[in-house]
A and B are shown apart, each in its own frame.
Chain A
Amino acid sequence: MFEFLKNLDKRWIFLLMFLAVAIPVYVVGKTGKAFPEVPTMLSESTFQAVEELHEGDPVLLSFDFDPASEGELGPMATAFVKHCAEKKLKIFFMALWPVGPQMIDDVVRKVIDADFPHLVYGEDYVNLGYKPGYEGVIKVVITDLRELYTTDDKGTNIDEIPMMADIHSVQDFELVINVSAGYPGTKEWVLYAVTPFPDKVKLVAGCTGVQAPLLYPYIPEQLPGLLGAIKGAAEYEKLVIDKYGGEHPDPKYLEAKRRMGPQLVAHLLIILLIILANIIFVVEKRRERR
């Protein structure tokens, strides 16, 4: 047994990880039950940043992620859009990643088209689309948005879009919400939008787990709210659903909470594997000494 564990084939580990994720996915899907979430201060402050806005306030949502990280960031993007729509904010979408527009399309279809069909494109929400240039885009739109965005994503002239009338730069938005999977993303928004204009630009963000530790140094001055990975999304989802979900919230707004089940079992498996590996390591050391 010891020899089997010592030389454990990685395919056994792959199988265990597959089961650790697949079984909770099946159980959660079948029962609809998920673990309870207690929102942390960062999720609360992210929620409050949106909550403090008033009806009609313009908010910019920059979706800087792709399908690779959709599993982690999709639920928080959905929750952000639902929250903004419930608050009747003017929603402006943009993207610094080439497939960001597809991420925007997905969320618009899932949230706005399905649950807020009364919202009118161009009056209540608009998709400005993707622009190449990484942080260069932020450096331009922070002072002159129209220099780069002469049309929206559909090719409509910016001047013909009613909700663009009072928007000349990112400084005109009451809040910037960034959903980020890497570069360019939240760090660039902090460096090139918030830092030069700390009194004009307020930023909250949702990011992947690997990014979160790198963004903590900007909290709370430059980044008052941050949702870290699926855990942050689940906490934010809870806050949004508690206030706006009604008695029987749509399961699509509880996606992050559901994904916490597989995450729990996968994390426990990793801990058990590390403990097992260290027991083998200690036993081997003792045998060598003898």
Chain B
Amino acid sequence: MKRAVPLTITALGGFVLIVAYFIPAAQGWGEIAAIWFDILAAVAFVLGGGNLLKIHLKKVSDRKGGWGYSGITLAAFLITLVVGLAKVGVNPNPHFPEVALSGGYREIGSPFWWLYEYAFKPLTATMFAMLAFYIASAAFRAFRAKNVEAILLLGTAFIILLGRTFAGVYLTAWLPDSLSGLKIENLTIHIMSVLNTAGNRAIMIGIALGIASTSLRVLLGIDRSYLGTGKQ
């Protein structure tokens, strides 16, 4: 029963969507399935929050390595959740002044807005910005012209790196119009729109075929790995 129900739901959902795609009269079925999916996706946020609590509470209670970070994660999660859900410090909507929770949770100056503006925003932006430092360090340590393939990759990387800045235009501006195809900015476009596109299309077709066969295995109940081992 524990496996039969999810298998049936998966097969039903999948086949309904396939039928709805190919038979116009059944299009409504697909729409209903898509709406159910959206409802489930919203519920998944609650499950995700519960899972986060479970994992980090266990880490803290077991005093596992790095449990202090789990404590900070829990504190940040709970403070943001309470402040956002309770709309702390938010003024009621002018149309419904008597309803305390009628205001917008993103109201400027509210504690939730403060958390977003002065904690979430700079932290996530910093994490992303740090990539520049790691890319530079990795490029210095790992990018070696060891063989022909590596030399080709290196040459392409140089052209793209230069072509995405004014340096590309400046360095090859002296080339006559008859050789404009060799200008770095034009080489960049050629690499992206011809070589990259050809390679990517081939990969995408391969992935699509793989997805189709895997999906069919899942829908027919042959592949049940997504249900887990049952030992958790």
Residues of chain A within 8 A of B133, CB atoms compared:
13-14, 17-18
B124 touches A274 (CB 8 A): no
Residues of chain A within 8 A of B166, CB atoms compared:
35-37, 260, 264
Cα(A37)–Cα(B93), bound, Å: 46
Cα(A99)–Cα(B124), bound, Å: 12
**The residue from B35, B136, B162 contacting A16, defined by CB atoms under 8 A apart:** B136
B162 touches A229 (CB 8 A): no
Residues of chain B within 8 A of A271, CB atoms compared:
158, 161-162
- Secondary structure of the A contact surface, majority rule: helix
B186-201 at interface with A (beta carbon < 8 Å): 189, 192-193, 196-197, 200-201
B143 touches A277 (CB 8 A): yes
Given contacts A40-B189, A274-B140, A139 and B34 within 8 Å (CB-CB): yes
Cα(A276)–Cα(B189), bound, Å: 27
- Min CB distance A201 to B, Å, is 16
- Min CB distance A215 to B, Å, is 9
Residues of chain B within 8 A of A277, CB atoms compared:
139-141, 143-144
Q: Mark A9-51, 1 if CB is under 8 A from B, else 0.
A: 0100110111001000000000000011110110000000000
Given contacts A10-B137, A17-B133, A217-B201, A136 and B34 within 8 Å (CB-CB): yes
Given contacts A10-B137, A139-B34, A277-B143, A67 and B125 within 8 Å (CB-CB): yes
Cα(A140)–Cα(B38), bound, Å: 9
B108-146 at interface with A (beta carbon < 8 Å): 116, 120-122, 124-125, 127-129, 132-133, 135-137, 139-141, 143-146
Cα(A213)–Cα(B146), bound, Å: 25
Residues of chain B within 8 A of A155, CB atoms compared:
93, 102
Given contacts A267-B161, A270-B135, A271-B158, A133 and B193 within 8 Å (CB-CB): no
Q: How many residues of A contact B (CB 8 A)?
A: 65
**The residue from A13, A228, A281 contacting B137, defined by CB atoms under 8 A apart:** A13
> Counting CB contacts under 8 A, is B154 at the interface?
yes
Residues of chain A within 8 A of B104, CB atoms compared:
153-154
B159-218 at interface with A (beta carbon < 8 Å): 161-162, 164-167, 169, 185, 189, 192-193, 196-197, 200-201, 204
Q: Interface range on chain B: under 10, 10 to 19, 20 to 34, or 35 or more?
A: 35 or more
Given contacts A16-B136, A154-B104, A273-B139, A216 and B41 within 8 Å (CB-CB): no
- Min CB distance A168 to B, Å, is 13
Residues of chain B within 8 A of A268, CB atoms compared:
165, 167
> Counting CB contacts under 8 A, is A172 at the interface?
no
B116 touches A216 (CB 8 A): no
> Counting CB contacts under 8 A, is B37 at the interface?
yes
Nearest B-chain residue to A66, judged by Cβ: B124
- Min CB distance A276 to B, Å, is 7
> Counting CB contacts under 8 A, is B73 at the interface?
no
- Min CB distance B177 to A, Å, is 15
Residues of chain B within 8 A of A154, CB atoms compared:
93, 104
Residues of chain A within 8 A of B44, CB atoms compared:
132
B167 touches A264 (CB 8 A): yes
A234-267 at interface with B (beta carbon < 8 Å): 260, 263-264, 266-267
Nearest B-chain residue to A34, judged by Cβ: B166
> Counting CB contacts under 8 A, is A161 at the interface?
no
Cα(A134)–Cα(B37), bound, Å: 10
A216 touches B136 (CB 8 A): no
Cα(A231)–Cα(B41), bound, Å: 35
- Min CB distance A178 to B, Å, is 19
A216 touches B193 (CB 8 A): yes
Nearest A-chain residue to B123, judged by Cβ: A67
Cα(A140)–Cα(B140), bound, Å: 47
21 A-B interface contacts by CB (under 8 A): A10-B141, A17-B132, A18-B133, A35-B165, A70-B125, A71-B129, A132-B44, A136-B41, A140-B38, A154-B93, A155-B93, A155-B102, A213-B196, A213-B200, A217-B197, A263-B165, A266-B132, A267-B162, A270-B136, A278-B143, A281-B145
